[in-house]
Amino acid sequence: MRYVPYDPKKITLPDGWAAKVAALEALISEESDAEKKLKLIGDHDGYWKELKPQLAMILNRKCWYTEAPQAGTDVDVDHYRPKGRVAELRSKTKSHPGYWWLAFKPDNYRYSCIVANRRRRDVETGNTGGKADHFPIADEAHRAWKPTENCDGEMPDLLDPCKATDTVLLTFKEDGEAMARYDQNTHPRLYRRAQSSIEYYHLNHTDFVRARQKLRDEIDRLVHSAKKYFQQLESNNAVIDHAYEEAISSLREMRQPSAPYSSFCMTYLDQYKFDEEIAGVCA
């Protein structure tokens, strides 16, 4: 997961969008029946879909949760706080109605691949993931149930890619699997947040792990080439100079925010940050 510099105020709303949303929000607020309220929201999903192209460009069409490139695939505008129901509070005695008042608030939108957003089973591992309606928090006593209550006190378990302090709670193993950065015994809450996010965002889905492994192998190849060419830089050979520059440039590109799975690439490349041959990569 990479920090996403998302500023909802910079989103250009389509002509008439704000007025239509304001009228709809008034209807939703007045509706007392939870199912009818949810239907009103669902019947107008086109409103948030209109903003999808702008959200896509913020991280070069990558899923904000997984960093998987989204070309030729179905993509969702996820509601970070679920709009219709909360999976952790679904019972006959105490069911949360969802954060319906945030359904049409751009600051609640996250650009997501369907693997991260929809519940599904990884056929290779048997593990089920996908955020869907899940939104666990540290203490249910602080859960917001209505518009007049402050969401800021909730302390969500799920990491938010739009918060720089959240994304650093994740790191990666060399085999491409996401893992918690902090130890369960010394930082239990930070560990729990990372583990919950790995599960619900399906960060270790086989497709993602395999893609990271492929990048790891490419990094190894480029590092080997860079070190080989570095040893020949004193030969005054322009071909060697260009080959070395190309290898270093390729490694630097893999660390850029726009690159697929760049947070994994950064983590994997950090092991070489003190190697003089590729010092320019991690600078």
Kindly state the greatest CA–CA separation across the chain: 79
Span 193-197, average pLDDT: 98
Confidence of residue 34 (pLDDT cuts 50, 70, 90): confident
Amino acid at 111: Y
Average pLDDT over residues 169-181: 97
Three-class secondary structure of residue 64 per DSSP: coil
State the pLDDT confidence band at 212, using cuts at 50, 70 and 90: very high
Work out the average pLDDT over 95-105: 95
pLDDT score recorded for residue 273? 87
The pLDDT tens digits of the residues spanning 43-64 come to 999 999 999 999 999 999 999 9
Q: Is the pLDDT of residue 92 over 80?
A: no
pLDDT-derived band of residue 74, with 50, 70 and 90 as boundaries?
A: confident
> For residue 283, is pLDDT > 80?
no
* pLDDT tens-digit series, residues 221-230: 999 999 999 9
Do 146 and 93 touch, CB atoms closer than 8 A?
no
Mean pLDDT of the 173-179 span: 97
Instruction: Place 14 in a pLDDT band, splitting at 50, 70 and 90.
Output: very high
Contact in structure between 243 and 229 (CB atoms under 8 Å): yes
pLDDT exceeding 90 applies to what percent of the chain? 92
Please report how many Cα atoms fall inside a 13 Å half-sphere around the Cα of residue 232, on the Cβ side: 14
Neighbours of 224 (CB within 10 A): 11
pLDDT at 90: 81
| pLDDT at residue 127, as a whole number | 94
Cα(253)–Cα(234) distance, integer angstroms: 25
- Position 79 pLDDT exceeds 90: yes
pLDDT of residue 270: 92
75-79 and 178-180 as β-strands: parallel, antiparallel, unpaired?
unpaired
C-beta separation of 79 from 49 below 8 A = no
pTM for this structure? Answer: 0.94
pLDDT (tens digit, 9 = 90+) per residue, 118-166?
Answer: 999 999 999 999 999 999 999 999 999 999 999 999 999 999 999 999 9
* Range of weakest confidence among 64-73, 86-95, 152-161, 256-265: 86-95
**pLDDT tier for residue 69 given thresholds of 50, 70 and 90:** very high
